[in-house]
Amino acid sequence: MKIEILGMGCANCNKLYENALEAVKLSGKEVEVAKVEDIKKIMGYGVLSTPALVIDGVVKVAGKIPKVEEIKGWIK
Amino acid sequence: MEERCLCEPNEILIFSCAGSSNVGQIANQAAVRLAQEGIGRYFCLAGIGGHVSGMIESTKAGKVLIAIDGCPVGCAKKTLEHTGFNIDEYIQVTEFGIEKNHDLNILAPDVGKVRDHVTSLVSKRRGI
């Protein structure tokens, strides 16, 4: 499984990245978490609001910062 | 091109028909003008119809959804509603006395009528 955090590096994006790392840690699963800061790549997902969180190519949320527990629920 | 952070809130999202008629193209051109004037953010209706996850999730983050249809067929409205979105302001170009035809040479004053109406609706919402 791969989680990508889309955002151009502002505080909201960093917060979502931290939440994703924490969710992965709590899940105990082996998950790759990567930041995507290139706007062309971000727009390639059809995302028009950041931060956004993508799991295995599917955008789960955009323009919001989901809580750690919510992200953990998406990790299978 | 300047790279603008997409974290800025998209409070007002504008979706338009871009159908193969004069009124579809007027709807689309009005939406483009509204976006260029900063009235709202122009969003991709085709992405909603295509269930593109990034478009769907980005739309969920919007606060006010405006749909501009060309005619009573209402494709923009139906596309958004099929996906479960509630439309806050809805406009049909034919309601401005513009008859639907297939001449794609649209007139600027017709675009202006739609643009002015949407601008007025947004101003009311903002309490201006």
What's the domain range around A17? 2-74
- The pLDDT assigned to B1 comes to 46
Give tens-digit pLDDT for A35-47: 999 999 999 999 9
User: Which pLDDT score is estimated for B9?
Assistant: 63
Does some domain include residue B70?
A: yes
Is A7 a known active-site residue? Answer: no
Has residue B10 got a pLDDT over 90? no
Please give the tally of structural domains in chain A: 1
**Predicted ipTM of the assembly:** 0.86
Q: Is the peptide bond before A51 cis (omega within 30 degrees of 0)?
A: yes
Is B67 inside a domain boundary?
yes
Residue range of the domain that includes B80: 12-122
Q: Where are the beta strands (DSSP E) in chain B?
A: 12-16, 41-42, 64-69, 89-92
pLDDT above 70 for B5: no
pLDDT at position B102, please?
94
Q: Which among A2, A10, A25, A26 is annotated as catalytic? A: A10
pTM of the shown model: 0.88
What distance in Å separates residue B6's CA from the closest CA in chain A?
5
How many domains, chain B? 1
Q: Is B38 part of a structural domain of the chain?
A: yes
**B90 domain residue, yes or no:** yes
Cα end-to-end distance, chain B, whole Å: 32
| 3-state SS assignment for residue A17 | helix
Q: Is there a contact between A50 and B6 if contact means CB atoms under 8 Å apart?
A: yes
The mean pLDDT value for B13-38 works out to 97
Strand A2-6 and strand A52-55: pairing? antiparallel
* Domain presence at residue B101: yes
Out of B43, B53, B62, the one facing A59 most closely (by C-beta) is: B53
Q: Is A10 a catalytic residue?
A: yes
Report if residue B111 sits inside a domain.
yes
Give residue B75's pLDDT band: very low, low, confident or very high (50, 70, 90): very high
Compare all CA atoms of chain A with the CA of B62 and give the residue at the minimum distance.
Answer: A63
